[in-house]
Amino acid sequence: MAATTAVRPITGMLRRGLMLDLGLSLGLGFVMANAYWYGYHVPRTNARDVYYKKLEEERAARIGA
């Protein structure tokens, strides 16, 4: 009588899990990096540039240049 087990063989599961983990982490990292870059960094940089441009224009108008 042959022994049967309800446990699946382990072969390939480590590689599949590793690929899933790497794919999810890289994908989520890319999404979060884009959310930070375009959701926070770029708008703040544009606001800073507009502020300093306005200051420079006021300074130039005050000096008369």
pLDDT tens digits for the chain (65 residues)? 556 667 776 667 777 888 899 999 999 999 999 999 999 999 999 999 999 999 999 999 999 86
Tokens 């790497």 -> residue: 22
Q: Model-level pTM?
A: 0.65
Token digits for 3? Answer: 């022994």
